[in-house]
Amino acid sequence: MQKSKIKKLCAITLALALGATTLVGCGGKDSGKGAKQEMVHNLGAEVETVDPTLNKAIDGSIVIANAFEGLYKTYDSDKAEPGIAKSCDISSDGLTYTFHLRDDAKWSDGQQVTAKDFAYSWKRALDPKTAANYAYQLYYIKGGEAYNTGKGSADALGIKVVDDLTLEVKLEKPTTYFLELTAFATYMPLREDVISAHPNDWTTDPSTYVTDGAFKLQEYNMKDSYVFVKNDNYYDKDKVKLNKLTFKMIVDETSAYASLKNGELTSIDIVPVAEIESGKQSGLVQISPNLGTYFYCLNVGNKTEQLKPEVKKALDNKNVRKALNLAIDREKIVKEVAKGGQEPAYSFVPKGIEIDGKDFADKKYWDETKFDVEGAKKLLADAGYPNGEGLPTFQLKYNTAEGNKLIAEAVQQMWAQIGVKVNLQNEEWKVFQKSRENGSYEIARHGWSADYVDPISFLDMWMTGGGNNDAKFANPKYDELIKKAQLETDVKTRAQHMREAEDILMEEMPIVPIYYYTFVKGIDPKVKDMRVSPLGQVYFVKAYMAE
């Protein structure tokens, strides 16, 4: 990493743990010069926001990743490399980072990208009035948590604009993956003059959605599409081959796949389960690694008035939650329902993160190949619900998608075998996100892909009051262990703190892991150099259409 050598965890990359990240259709000699350089990618959902500070979903982050660039970037691999910052000096104690910005980095409207733009963006994310779900990702910055929780001030933050091209950042403690964090959406720079003048609609107008990355917004069509074109003010524009990049928001999987087959779309994020096998054979479907976990979230923290008393009583019982976990036939789900090469989960942190010389997911909390009906029935009996008697009928919510529906129906049948009744309800993605966030659910479908290659990316979200803690889980010992892991610099000790935290999570069971994700995407064979990262991003920065 040029001047700076980051110790320990920064050396952990997915190239070691998962194999190389996916670069769809390596270019070779075909530069695509004779082809029309336009791509249309379907996100499979209506995007709630493309504000880097407020976004909390992968669909929005894919748009952001191609429109913005942080101090460091992860276009070519999931290890940070210089982006808007040409270099970074790190103090010997690992607490002070001095970023030196490129003098040729410009916004899409031609203005210079400055250190002030990063400072404004980070302070905006930490401002409690902003209510950013991902504010906790900036708690590594000195004073970040205190400011965000109302115990400190913006002036006390470890963020200093030395001059237009120099940003000094002081951390609470050494953080070996901090450069990777600066490539994350919440760390993207933003223009204060634009947002202050258009606080509520700056992301939907091409004249105000100013970006510093490879593409700039040309047109926004509500509930339909974002149309981007090449950003001629991008410092690395000569490497950008696409002239136009459109992000569609077609929710119906079958319609999207039909559009891919007839050439209206060049790639899609979600493939209908029934089309996966034939699509693989025809070359339209590609499966790649995804460092993530598909799971169900149980509402364990809401007040009585927010849930029916009988539902709250049941979900508050740890044995009920553990029974629901044991009664899922994960092998059947991945082989007969999901069919995308997924692996049955036996923990929350998925396979693929190597720490201290071994995969962190080396501990199996249950036999992922075993459908333990009798064990689940015993747990229900111990909870006072023999054969499910006395249990209320639970409501299981999922966001509208055929794959989610099929899995929910399978789980409904499995839970019926132990006497647990479930009604299914689907909601549109934007509504569903709010339901989970507000606690307006009993059991809900969930999924999480790593934001960076470290177990803490899965574990810190369940801290009490966390912005992404949709289960409303609260456990003081768990919080203490995560904070220790965040402060610890010794790899072995840090790994032990995280292991003990996951032990608590899997013992208390506010979530029910089902499988470890893969990415199943539909991609036109003419698409080249579109990188699908195991962290969930899809990068079009170097992509092009072959002839």
User: Does residue 45 surpass a pLDDT of 70?
Assistant: yes
Q: Which stretch of 18-32, 208-222, 317-331 has the lowest confidence by average pLDDT? A: 18-32
Say which CATH class 8-284+524-545 falls into. alpha beta
Angle between helices 402-416 and 253-261 (to 10 degrees): 140
CA distance 299 to 317: 11
Q: How is domain 292-519 classified at the CATH fold level?
A: Dipeptide-binding Protein; domain 3 (3.10.105)
End-to-end CA distance of the chain: 36
Q: In the predicted model, what is the mean pLDDT of residues 78-100?
A: 95
User: Does residue 132 surpass a pLDDT of 70?
Assistant: yes
Strands 527-528 and 544-545: antiparallel
Residue with tokens 């970023």: 99
What DSSP assignment string belongs to 516-538?
Answer: EEEEEEEE-TTEESEEE-TTS-E
Quote the pLDDT of residue 289: 86
Quote the pLDDT of residue 27: 57
Q: Where is 81: in which H helix or E strand?
A: strand 81-82
Q: Where is 227: in which H helix or E strand?
A: strand 225-230
For 316, which DSSP code?
Answer: T
Q: For the chain, what is the mean pLDDT? A: 92
Quote the pLDDT of residue 4: 29
CA distance 69 to 216: 12
CA distance 159 to 157: 5
Q: In the chain, what percentage of residues exceed pLDDT 90?
A: 83
Q: In the chain, what percentage of residues exceed pLDDT 70?
A: 93
Quote the pLDDT of residue 419: 97
The pLDDT tens digits of the residues spanning 337-361 come to 999 999 999 999 999 999 888 999 9
User: Which residues are registered as beta bridge partners of 396?
Assistant: 424, 443
Torsion, Cα of 307, 310, 313, 315 (10° steps): -70
User: Does residue 1 surpass a pLDDT of 50?
Assistant: no
Question: What are the extents of the domains in the chain?
Answer: 8-284+524-545, 292-519
The pLDDT tens digits of the residues spanning 234-255 come to 999 999 999 999 999 999 999 9
Quote the pLDDT of residue 9: 33
Quote the pLDDT of residue 306: 77
Q: Where is 394: in which H helix or E strand?
A: strand 394-399
Q: Which stretch of 69-78, 296-305, 307-316, 497-506 has the lowest confidence by average pLDDT? A: 296-305
Q: Is 122 helix (H, G, I), strand (E, B) or coil?
A: helix
Q: Nearest-5° angle of CA 451, CA 456, CA 462?
A: 95
Quote the pLDDT of residue 21: 54
Quote the pLDDT of residue 441: 95
Q: In the predicted model, what is the mean pLDDT of residues 81-88?
A: 97
The pLDDT tens digits of the residues spanning 358-395 come to 999 999 999 998 889 999 999 999 999 999 999 999 99
Q: Are 179 and 12 in contact (CB under 8 A)?
A: no
The pLDDT tens digits of the residues spanning 438-453 come to 999 999 999 998 888 8
Q: Would you place residue 32 in the very low, low, confident or very high pLDDT band (cuts 50, 70, 90)?
A: low
Quote the pLDDT of residue 3: 29
Q: Which stretch of 19-23, 201-205, 234-238 has the lowest confidence by average pLDDT? A: 19-23
